[in-house]
Amino acid sequence: MHATATARIIDGVAVSAKIRADCKGRVERLARRGIKPGLAVVLVGSDPASAVYVRNKERACSDVGIRSFRHDFSADVDPETLVATIERLNADPGVDGILVQLPLPPHLSVARVLRTISAEKDVDGFHLYNVGGLVVGDTVFPPCTPYGVVKLLEHEGIRVEGQNVVVVGASNIVGKPMALMLMQRDATVCICHAKTRDLAQFTILADILVVAAGKPNLILPQMVKTGAVVIDVGINRLADGRLVGDVDFEGVRRKASSITPVPGGVGPMTVTMLLVNTITSAERRQAE
């Protein structure tokens, strides 16, 4: 009977390791031409989660041979100072990618900061030029988290074309670009969000369910079609310190065909795709 079946666990750490090995090869090829890719990492304020993310990104860079340049600012930094720093990094030939860690303190305009980053160095893929590229299916820097999900699906041999995909979450960073990237790959895509009425009536139709809402246990087994692929992007810290996604992992794994764990699923892929985008930028600039 189906009741005892459990899903294949998609190992984001293992897929990441394969892609990072490929990154090392690309960095070595660039080194033979005298080029060392560089990523500028801008951190504003002292949010502990942001500090952890930035440290992880720096460590990942050094593991594959990318130089990283850290620019720290206090939470009350003057917007003009921040913009001037980004403009300097735009002009710096040693910098291939510029990453401004989000969120920013409320007195800073995220839109202005992201617009200031040169589209040529926008390795997070948030500049309007790159967002537009995503809409028409022609982008150089796909945003790292949805790009990581696409790569996970590819590595697992999961077909996207013609599949019903439901994306829960419609943020500019995850949900919307995720939906566009899967639509570009000929999936039939439905986007749900906090105002969606009766979420389950949509999620139950999904052959591939991608969840990026930031709500523990939002997706329960009865909301998932038997045999669905479930990708959990959510990262939530519970009161007892545990890190969980948005999906009831233990329940849903008995119904899905494949599922990503949290941690160890999408998270490692996000950082890996940042490395990929930074190397791509260096290769493009070298080819100019």
Positions in the binding site for ligand NAD (CB under 6 A): 145, 168-171, 173-175, 192-194, 196, 199, 212-215, 218, 233-236, 266-267, 270
Residue type, 94: G
Nearer to ligand NAD, 97 or 120 (CB): 97
Q: Which one of the listed residues 57, 176, 225, 255 is annotated catalytic? A: 57
Closest approach of ligand NAD to the CB of residue 92, in Å? 27
User: How far apart, in Å, do the first and last CA atoms of the chain sit?
Assistant: 59
- CB of 124 within 8 A of CB of 141? yes
Nearer to ligand NAD, 215 or 285 (CB): 215
Nearer to ligand NAD, 30 or 202 (CB): 202
Q: Residues 153-156: contacts with CB within 8 Å, 24+ apart? A: 153/208, 153/229, 153/231, 155/15, 155/18, 156/8, 156/10, 156/15, 156/229, 156/258
C-alpha–C-alpha distance, residues 177 and 56, integer Å: 23
Torsion sign across C-alpha atoms 13, 173, 112, 76: negative
Catalytic (active site) residue 57: yes
Closest approach of ligand NAD to the CB of residue 13, in Å? 13
* 3-state secondary structure at position 99: strand
Q: Where are the alpha helices (DSSP H) in 32-109?
A: 48-64, 79-91
* 3-state secondary structure at position 72: strand
C-alpha–C-alpha distance, residues 65 and 91, integer Å: 22
Nearer to ligand NAD, 85 or 145 (CB): 145
Q: Which one of the listed residues 96, 101, 163, 207 is annotated catalytic? A: 101
Catalytic (active site) residue 225: no
Catalytic (active site) residue 138: no
Closest approach of ligand NAD to the CB of residue 11, in Å? 14
- CB of 165 within 8 A of CB of 207? yes
Nearer to ligand NAD, 45 or 214 (CB): 214
Write b or e for each residue in 172-200: b if 16 or more Cβ atoms lie within 10 A of its Cβ, otherwise e: ebbbbbbbbbbbbbebebbbbeeeeeebe
Closest approach of ligand NAD to the CB of residue 169, in Å? 4
Q: Which one of the listed residues 122, 124, 232, 248 is annotated catalytic? A: 124
Closest approach of ligand NAD to the CB of residue 256, in Å? 18
Closest approach of ligand NAD to the CB of residue 112, in Å? 19
Round the CA-based radius of gyration of the chain to a whole number and report it.
19
- CB of 140 within 8 A of CB of 133? yes
Nearer to ligand NAD, 35 or 199 (CB): 199
C-alpha–C-alpha distance, residues 181 and 143, integer Å: 10
- Catalytic amino acids? 57, 101, 124
